[in-house]
Amino acid sequence: MLIGYARVSRGDEQSNKAQARALTDAGCKRIFEEEASGGRWERPELHKMLGHLREGDTVVVWKLDRLSRSLKDVLHIMERIEAAGAGFRSLTEAIDTTTPSGRMMMQMVGSFAEFERAMIRERTSAGLALARSEGRIGGRRKKLNPKKRLEIAESVLSGRKSAAEMARLYEISQPTVSRIIAEHRQKVGKGHAQ
């Protein structure tokens, strides 16, 4: 059975009518329609459609970007369609995974996506290695300098102030105060051990 999926972005002045007509003309017996951003994964009609698929069905869309604007999501949806034993067809791009050339086209798209992910990983690793070699480490900068951290630890440990008071004073969380105290105790303990 041919199953259509039509989507327009929420808030657009568009409607699904033109897409629905094209899908009906293509022979779709059932059409799932929704208003949602193509960049969001939380789309009830899309998930309903994916759950409805049976072996031998074909999902039909007017255009590939109606399925999703994210290549990663498109490939994930394609895997779900394939796992159900169904095919996929895009009317505008003339992609049809029920044909050998259509399957080859989707495999090429998947290969380019995998290549892109590998290049991003490679560039990220190279950037991190360079930063480490220059003495830089990742993460946020510490909000408190060593002097302030010592003041917090000594104030709480001496009983002059409570952990809650120090957290409010320095605008940090109580777990952060606890970590500062634990680090201080560890440093002091190492100093006595030497």
Phi, psi for residue 50 in degrees, rounded to 5 = -65, -35
Q: Is 9 a catalytic residue?
A: yes
pLDDT at 28: 92
pLDDT at 11: 58
Average pLDDT over residues 176-191: 86
State the amino acid at position 193 in one-letter form.
A
- Residue 13's pLDDT band (boundaries 50, 70, 90)? low
DSSP 3-state assignment of 87? strand
Q: Under a CB-based contact definition with an 8 Å cutoff, are residues 55 and 84 in contact? A: yes
The 10s digit of each residue's pLDDT in 111-139 is: 776 787 788 889 888 988 888 888 877 77
Decide the pairing of beta strands 58-61 and 87-90.
parallel
Residue from 9, 15, 125, 178 carrying the catalytic annotation: 9
The 10s digit of each residue's pLDDT in 53-84 is: 999 999 999 888 888 877 778 888 888 888 89
Mean pLDDT, the chain, as a whole number? 85
Which residues are bridge partners to 5 per DSSP?
32, 61
